[in-house]
Amino acid sequence: MKVSFVLRRLPRVFAVVSLLVLLLALSACGKKARPEPPEASAPEPVRFLLAKADVDAVILTWRAPEKDASGDSLEDLAGYVVKRSDYEKDERPDFEEIAEVEAPLDLSDEAPKGEREAAKKVEYVYRDTEVEAGKTYEYVVLPINDSDVEGGAAAILRVTFIGTASVIENFSAEQRAKTQ
């Protein structure tokens, strides 16, 4: 009698346990939103990218992007990758990383408002001293987030280095692609 009682209740017990497991699994799934590719959280391009030349260096300056590629407020900016290519007419640029610049200021919503505003106004600087007189270089500065996803380049700077009289040209990334 005890065995038949247990056997009759087994489907109900199994159903209840299965339902509990299903409910636990659904509630533990975390954020309930459509998955996004990593590129959606990539930072927008840097702002106000400029170059100037000194006697022995090319000096790049820029400001942090404020949003990510999806238009949300940028909160996880880790830094920047500076890339340079030797310019050859009618050749595709072969950009190589020459430096990483850390973004030490907090842009997240958890940061005090004054600190977030100050971070947006910081002018970052990189000084490239590995340049030769008479050579032409192209530069891009790409923002990178905490997940190591690089943002794009809005501008490419072309510098024909001849000291303080260097020739500096500014192209949008789209313009540069058309000149190849």
In three-state secondary structure terms, 4 is helix
The answer to whether the beta carbons of residues 28 and 15 sit under 8 Å apart is no
Q: What is the pLDDT of residues 23-38, one digit of tens each?
A: 666 665 555 556 666 6
Strand spans (E) along the chain:
47-53, 58-63, 77-86, 96-102, 123-128, 136-145, 155-160, 167-172
| pTM beyond 0.95, yes or no | no
Higher-confidence residue: 94 or 41? 94
- Give 100 or 72, the one with higher predicted confidence: 100
What class is the 39-178 domain?
A: mainly beta
Higher per-residue pLDDT: 135 or 19: 135
Report pLDDT for 41: 77
Biggest alpha carbon–alpha carbon distance for the chain: 102
Taking residues 168-177, report their average pLDDT. Answer: 74
Domain boundaries along the sequence of the chain:
1-30, 39-178
| Between 84 and 179, the higher pLDDT residue | 84
